[in-house]
Amino acid sequence: MLREDYAIWRCGKHEISLARPRIMGILNVTPDSFSDGGDHDTREAAVEWGLRMLDDGADIIDVGGESTRPGFEGVSSQEEAKRVVPVVRDLVEAGAIVSVDTRHADVAKMCVRLGASIVNDVTGFTDPKMVQMAADTSCGCVIMHAGEVSGGGTRRQVMLDSNPKAKATTEKTADAAAKAEVDDDVAQTVEANEKAAAQLEEVMSRSSRGVESPTVRLSSGNRHFTLPEEAPIMRRVMGFLGDQARTVMRAGVDHDRICIDPGAGFGKYADEDVVIQRATSKMVSMGYPLMCAVSRKRFVGSVSGVSEACGRDDATIGMVLAAAEAGARILRVHDVAGLSQALDSYWSVAHPDPRRAFLSLGSNVGDRIGYLGKACALIDSIPLTCVVGVSHAYETDPAYGIAKPVANCVVEIRTELAPLVLLDSLLAVEDQLGRERVAGQEGHGPRTIDVDLAWMEGETHAGRRLTLPHRGLGERDYVIVPLEDLMHDPVRFLEHGGVKVKPQDERVGLVRSDLGEVAWE
């Protein structure tokens, strides 16, 4: 049975709504990753890139300290920890949902203790120590398939052993077997073509004598289709993923903590990867959130004709959108900004997705009530957005360094825009009403209008541009009191959503008087 759109992926303290696809930004803290090795291999560069991806639309940051490109050299868990731990710590402190991409149980455990919410294991939790780590924590678990799918012994396997001798032996054996397979294919093809020619000659001879010919199937060799058969491939992939999911559940991991990943590019030919991507809906039917992690992979280059890994972002977006339409909900990519734009626009047209949100409005310059009303009208005119309700306006104490008393209200809206897209539209409303942002007075200067996105249904986000729920929501009396005009018990509502609400005598911006209705239509 397919998962419903209201599914939740539980990852530590976070509950990630899968009502719409979520973007996982790839942050490789390595010198040798296949497309971005060395770009972010210092703590400062890595953290800065992670924060930028959050501002570009990433919901999760996946931090990896070991390259798993074809033929990679493994690193020790100590070296991997040295690379990733400082970055994980800083991103967690910034409020990000952090995933750690590791096959080492000790590194995973260390990062989870620091606040990482997800462990993304390239070996699919085949290590009993990794299974025990998952059972001992509450992290989300990404189970990936990294093995062969063709059933033969001629395909090069992903090397998870850093021993150079073992690697050389494996590659030598694989090359010899591959050559033998090619020679065998050539011999079979020649034999088949000779047989087909003889059959064709017989058909022509019968025709010239007026003899009715039987149906003849001509063969161009031992391959009749553009892609290999799906069934044996998917039996291996889905069988492994299902087995490993049950293994971690038997150890004590809840079903809703598990995400599965078919492992694009790991031990698979391009043809096989395409078969697997076409079977996305079948994998979704297993009942776990499905990750699409095809970003910049070789088979993406094969189908798009792009040889350079860094040039495959547009092709990646096309493939990822196809996976999202088929039910994939975790989209792991390098180019967050590009996918975010494509996904937001695609989803707004292909999937009606109205969600509830609350905005906090404030004004302390000129006709304050008038500015609140004009802002409500402009918000109602934002595409894919409508105003559902507006609280009374309230006179409140200045807060956060603001000098003058403020007229505040709360606006309930319905919107189909992504949070960062909506944020840009709200900033445009401020600009239309003449808000001036004086240098050195950011956040506490005089304003004709200030619009904050305080809460949005199913959305948690961290970044320099936007935090959801708003980090000050639980302490703002000038938001909580106006919310009482729009719902029965705002404190219970917010706390149910994970927002800790302070007692009124500990809040800021206390409400002093009711200024009446806000006229805006």
Confidence of residue 153 (pLDDT cuts 50, 70, 90): very low
117 and 183 housed in the same domain: no
Determine, yes or no, domain membership for 123: yes
Residue 306 lies in a domain: yes
Judgement on whether residues 101 and 71 belong to the same structural domain of the protein:
yes
Q: How many domains does the chain have?
A: 3
In this predicted structure, the answer to whether residue 154 has a pLDDT above a threshold of 70 is no
Q: What is the mean pLDDT of residues 306-312?
A: 92
Identify whether residues 234 and 116 lie together within a single domain. yes
In angstroms, rounded to a whole number, what is the distance separating the alpha carbons of residues 235 and 497? 40
Region 365-373: mean pLDDT is 96
Residue that terminates a domain, selected from 350, 383, 415: 350
Mean pLDDT lowest among 19-28, 30-39, 309-318, 337-346: 30-39
For tokens 């007229």, name the residue. 407
Residues 495 and 509 in one domain: yes
Nearest to 22 by CA among 144, 145, 140, 147: 140
Reported as a single tens digit per residue, the pLDDT across 105-135 is 999 999 999 999 999 999 999 999 999 999 9
Please indicate, yes or no, whether residues 324 and 386 belong to a single structural domain of this protein: no
**Full residue range of the structural domain in which residue 204 is found:** 163-214
Residue finishing a domain among 288, 319, 350: 350
For the domain that residue 112 is a member of, what is the CATH number? 3.20.20.20
- Co-location of 371 and 336 in the same domain: no
Are residue 325 and residue 373 in the same domain, yes or no?
A: no
The answer to the question of residue 521 being in a domain is no
**Which residue reads 């339409």 in tokens?**
325
Are 48 and 76 in a shared domain?
Answer: yes
140's tokens: 């989300």
- Classify residue 220: in a domain, yes or no: no
Whether residue 394 is predicted with pLDDT greater than 90 in this model: the reply is: yes
Query: Does the pLDDT value for residue 192 go beyond 70?
Result: no
Answer whether residue 1 is part of any domain.
no
Residues 6+ apart with CB under 8 A from 39: 28, 45, 49
Per-residue pLDDT tens for 62-118?
A: 999 987 766 556 789 999 999 999 999 999 999 999 999 999 999 999 999 999 999
Q: Residue 443 — pLDDT band, cuts 50, 70, 90?
A: low
**Is the pLDDT score of 8 beyond 80?**
yes
Q: What angle do CA 354, 358, 363 make, to 5 degrees?
A: 135
- Is 283 in the same domain as 377? no
Same-domain check for residues 120 and 251: yes
The answer to whether residue 222 sits within a structural domain is no
Same domain, residue pair 344 and 361? no
> How far is the C-alpha of 52 from the C-alpha of 67, rounded, in Å?
22
- Reference 26, options 99, 110, 89; nearest CA is 99
Query: Is residue 221, in this structure, part of any structural domain at all?
Result: no
Residues 362 and 341 in one domain: no
Q: Which of 315, 350, 385 is the last residue of a domain?
A: 350
Q: What is the CATH number of the domain that holds 500?
A: 3.30.70.560
Determine, yes or no, domain membership for 2.
no
